[in-house]
């Protein structure tokens, strides 16, 4: 990487010597220090050291702004005035298929769909671990310890990898059955 080019010290001195007069009324000193005229423009006042200190003490950046504008400005400063969006959703604004995605979403949106009676569909009830275990072992409620044990023995004999020569798909099914059995036995003990 190249080195940064620094301005020679003589250039700074020349600018100071050319100088401007202080923009404060009735001041004859050189205006070496700049101060912004307003927050919106790039125009500056040029003051001497004493007057720039006075100006800075009285400067109010938010002067003339409403409370909402001040709040908005402060919130933008938090993210360095860069656009942001939540991390847990995808931003489809930049997608070519925005319309298609919206149509897809509304087609499967359960909030807007109605059943045959015209009333809104009920929200799906969350399945308890016991209900999941009964479904995984293909049992009919009510269940007892003896029916759970009998069904467990039957399923283990059917899905054990030794019976099927180490078939991985059946091994995964066996893991689900074992987990369901443990869940049911724990709930039946209580």
Residues 38-57 have pLDDT tens digits of 877 788 999 999 999 999 99
Question: Is residue 32 located within the same domain as residue 89?
Answer: yes
Comparing 11 with 156, which gets the higher pLDDT? 156
Question: Is residue 22 located within the same domain as residue 74?
Answer: yes
Does residue 56 lie within any of the structural domains? yes
In the listed set 51, 68, 94, which residue is the last one of a domain according to the structure? Answer: 94
Does residue 55 lie within any of the structural domains? yes
Question: Is residue 20 located within the same domain as residue 67?
Answer: yes
Does residue 35 lie within any of the structural domains? yes
Comparing 83 with 72, which gets the higher pLDDT? 72
Does residue 4 lie within any of the structural domains? no
| CATH number of the domain where residue 163 is located | 1.10.287.110
Does residue 101 lie within any of the structural domains? no
- Please name the residue ranges forming H helices in 108-144: 129-136
Question: Is residue 26 located within the same domain as residue 85?
Answer: yes
- Asked whether 21 and 31 are in contact (CB, 8 A), the reply is yes
pTM equals 0.36
In the listed set 51, 69, 94, which residue is the last one of a domain according to the structure? Answer: 94
Residue 117, pLDDT above cutoff 50: no
In the listed set 94, 113, 148, which residue is the last one of a domain according to the structure? Answer: 94
Is residue 45 helix, strand or coil? strand
Best-predicted range by mean pLDDT among 61-65, 124-128, 163-167?
61-65
Give pLDDT, residue 146: 92
Q: How many domains does the chain have?
A: 2
Question: Is residue 82 located within the same domain as residue 154?
Answer: no
As a whole number of angstroms, the distance between CA 154 and CA 164 comes to: 15
Does residue 156 lie within any of the structural domains? yes
Q: Which stretch of DSSP H or E encloses residue 48?
A: none
The end-to-end CA distance of the chain, in Å, is: 72
- Asked whether 50 and 71 are in contact (CB, 8 A), the reply is no
Does residue 65 lie within any of the structural domains? yes
Does residue 114 lie within any of the structural domains? no
What percent of the chain is predicted at pLDDT more than 90?
Answer: 21
What domain range includes position 134? 129-189
Nearest to 149 by CA among 137, 162, 163: 137
Question: Is residue 27 located within the same domain as residue 90?
Answer: yes
């Amino acid at each position: 990487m190249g080195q940064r080019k620094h301005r020679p010290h003589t250039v700074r001195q020349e600018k100071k010597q050319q100088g401007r007069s202080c923009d404060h009324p009735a001041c004859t000193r050189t205006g070496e220090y700049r101060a912004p005229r307003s927050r919106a423009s790039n125009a500056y006042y040029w003051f001497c050291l004493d007057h720039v200190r006075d100006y800075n003490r009285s400067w109010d950046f938010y002067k003339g702004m409403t409370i909402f504008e001040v709040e908005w400005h402060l919130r933008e400063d938090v993210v360095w005035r860069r656009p942001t969006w939540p991390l847990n959703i995808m931003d489809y604004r930049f997608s070519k298929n925005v319309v298609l995605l919206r149509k897809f979403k509304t087609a499967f949106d359960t909030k807007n769909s109605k059943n045959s009676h015209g009333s809104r569909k009920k929200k799906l009830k969350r399945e308890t671990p016991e209900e999941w275990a009964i479904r995984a072992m293909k049992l009919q409620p009510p269940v007892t310890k003896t029916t759970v044990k009998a069904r467990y023995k039957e399923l283990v004999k059917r899905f054990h990898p030794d019976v099927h020569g180490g078939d991985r798909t059946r091994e995964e099914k066996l893991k689900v059955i074992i987990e369901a059995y443990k869940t049911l036995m724990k709930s039946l003990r209580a």
